[in-house]
Amino acid sequence: MSKNAYEHEMTVADHEELLAALKKFSGKVVLSGYASPLYSEKLKDWRCVVKKVANHSAQQKTKKIKTECLWMNY
């Protein structure tokens, strides 16, 4: 079993490209993810709501609680 949670992991460059594109977008954006220094820096002028959520993708019977961030440009 792979350590990666996803078949195709994003590189740092992929994240930077995504964030640059979203910052240029003129409409409303909500981005869901986990806290990281890169996102905190690039989206520092966006609103961020932090939520505790059960990790339903986990195979274990007892689901770990994860902290998810919702970044909004409005």
Q: Which of 23, 28, 21 is nearest to 43 (CA)?
A: 23
Question: What parts of the chain have a pLDDT lower than 70?
Answer: 1-6, 56-63
Q: Which of 43, 35, 34, 51 is nearest to 16 (CA)?
A: 43
Q: What is the pLDDT of residues 40-56, one digit of tens each?
A: 999 999 999 999 988 76
pLDDT for res 2: 47
Q: Is 71 exposed, middle or buried (0-12, 13-18, 19+ CB in 10 A)?
A: buried
CA distance 31 to 71: 5
pLDDT for res 4: 59
